[in-house]
Amino acid sequence: MTGGKNAALVWNATDTVNPDGSVQIKADLTGPDAATGSTQPLKVIVDRNASGAASTDIGPGSVNLLTGEFTLSTTDASAFGPSLARTASSRTPDKAARQEGQAPIFGKEWVAGTAAEVGVQLLPRPPDLRHRGRRHRLRGRRDPLHLEHGQDRLDRRAGRRGAHPQGRGDRDVHPDRQRGHGDRVHQARRLRHHLAGLQHPDGGRVQLHRHRGLRDRRRRRQDPARPKRIIAPTSAVTTAGCAADPATKGCRALEFVYATSTTATAGTFGDVAGQVKEVRLWSTAPGAAAATSKAVQTYVYDDANRLRQAWNPQINPPLKTEYGYDAEGRVTTLVPPGELPWTFTYGKAGNAATAGDGMLLNASRSGLKQGTTDVQEGTATTSVVYDVPLTGAAAPYGMGAADVKTWGQLDAPTDATAVFPADAIPASASGTALNASDYQRADVHYLGASGRQVNSAAPGGHIDTTEFDRRIPSEVVDGLRAAALLEGCRLVVPGAWHTDTVMGLVHTAELFEAADEAVRAEIAAWTRTGAVGEGPATEGVPAYAFGPRQYDVTSPARDFDAPRQVPGRVSARFEKNPQIALLGTADDTPEQWLKAGQAMQRVLLQATLDGLSTSLMSQPLEWPELRSDARDPSSKVGFVHMVFRLGYGPQGRATPRRPVSEVLSFD
């Protein structure tokens, strides 16, 4: 220790933490006369998959800048609100087959955006539970289990010394009943003294595994689930009625039709038993006595059960989207209808802990001869280089901790990835194999320790910096989720790609509002700027509540002052990547609307108690054509009711209260 400070300690968590999960870190201190002490533990989550890391669009998909995972997403059908989407991943090409309880309805390569309820048959034996290499046996109905925030494992909490301190996001659960803290966050069900599972706040189930050494082990039998219909809510008929008979007048639904036999062969595309062959739309024509269906999407597969073509049979001639795969099931070719084909190349690049097979190396398609619309000439290739050096002679720019500190940046880059345009093909996909001069035409993305983009360098050396506000602790987010669950709703905190999508929808909705005279008039009617002719100052949103104006438009935000100009209103820079959360329900019925409103009240109150500032971004939810795109197809939220923006902002003014005489009258 020098000058009261010890040397910086660096711990690479991925070298010692396996498997991934939640880790608590604390400092143990010693002093004179054998004095000891410890800091409060900090909780971090080790995630080698880095699913929340920053990404960028390349061609028809999106690549994770840390892991190189290339994601292709498409929406096959959308009507009356519900939509059907599917997603393919390059790092986990068989991701659909790994979904617990869900059948790979489009083949193992494509994850459906709609999940089905899982039927589970439990065999009546008290199981042994494994956690961190130790076996625990349930001995009675009062044995509590501990579900730690961010984990999918269980821990016995018998008050033993050395157990993890319980954080705010953790819960104790008794197997025989719902447990505690005034909420219903985790639930446990028992069948003949058999613990079935725990319901996690994010909607997933914590599965219990028996010790392999048990001689009389009993296993759970679970049949893979397949979605049958996606039913749009309507006042004309109940959801239960449409589920029983989709031909009921007024029903609106997307129905999955599964093949009963396999017709695909080595030389001919066809059906695969148990996989979707077509999607049908049920609707009622004006004046009709019953709903009828028509096919709106058709699928054919090859002899390896892989999806090869998809098209809407209502369009003639058919406009087919075609796919090609490598031996592992990664999409290597994509042919959009009426467009030139895309070709994708994968491999392993760089020496980072996140490196692995299936990283996108380049995406290419044929170019067109200048001045023509149908003459192909050359190939346009976008390349990706990983593990770009931050310091040293081979680094394109000096971006180490000491370098960025010179302009006051505290969140220093830890990783960098470069994207090269078609006119600059790199010699290698590993940054350590290139020279600093090789990056002149590249866009270099710099990521911090949390996988967020903190800097970017454009060709010519123009570097920008993205600073993030104070991060919301995970246990605070868990508290907000729990508040929503109390009303039967879900609060989803989206990842990077989902946040980008929602913010894009907010921006689109802002354009819609700016072009709609009725919307502008409505906003002007209930805002007050002090202009002559406005209503009473107490009957609307006052100008001071508008907040600052954006110094530069970096993030979509509702500006109640547009297109007017309030005198003296200051400007400020807004964060480019705000923390948002989506409140949603499974259905879109009046009862669910009421629950969503009650859940919103609880979330806002809980956020206030936690010291958070909140604002509402409902713009895309007010336009039916945008609302359905706000949900994550892989989540259990069917309909989004509110988008919250969360953070730690400056203290605002207290909401004024009306005089009692204005709200109460006495005889």
* Segment 1-12, tens digit of pLDDT: 666 666 667 677
Q: Map out the domains of the chain with their CATH numbers.
A: 79-83+227-339 (no CATH), 386-465 (no CATH), 474-647 (3.40.109.10)
pTM for this model (two decimals): 0.62
Has residue 169 got a pLDDT over 70? no
645 within 8 A of 579, measured Cβ to Cβ: yes
Q: How much is the average pLDDT of 281-303?
A: 96
Residues with Cβ < 8 Å from 505, sequence gap 6 or more? 619, 620, 626, 629, 630
Among 5-9, 344-348, 574-578, 621-625, the minimum mean pLDDT is found in: 5-9
What pLDDT score was predicted for residue 532? Answer: 74
Percent above pLDDT 70 for the chain: 77
| Region 66-76 average pLDDT | 95
Q: Closest Cα partner for 73 from 59, 56, 61, 57?
A: 61
Euclidean distance between CA atoms 390 and 69, whole angstroms: 22
Distance between CA atoms of 96 and 110, rounded to whole angstroms?
Answer: 6
Task: Over range 543-549, report the average pLDDT.
Answer: 74
H/E run at residue 345: strand 342-347
Q: What is the reported pLDDT for 116? A: 55
Q: Minimal CA–CA distance to 640: which of 583, 564, 576, 573?
A: 583
Instruction: Name the band, by pLDDT with cuts 50, 70 and 90, for residue 158.
Output: very low
CA-to-CA distance for 292 and 514, rounded, in angstroms?
Answer: 39
pLDDT of residue 475: 83
| 552-577 pLDDT, tens digit each | 555 666 677 665 667 777 666 676 67
546: confidence class by pLDDT, cuts 50, 70, 90: confident
Look up tokens 């400020």; give the residue: 572
Q: What percent of the chain has pLDDT over 90?
A: 43
Which residue, 103, 124, 100, 119, is CA-closest to 219? 124
- What mean pLDDT value characterizes the chain? 80
Cα–Cα dist 346/64, whole Å: 13
pLDDT of residue 222: 53
As a whole number of angstroms, the distance between CA 60 and CA 51 comes to 19
End-to-end CA distance of the chain: 77
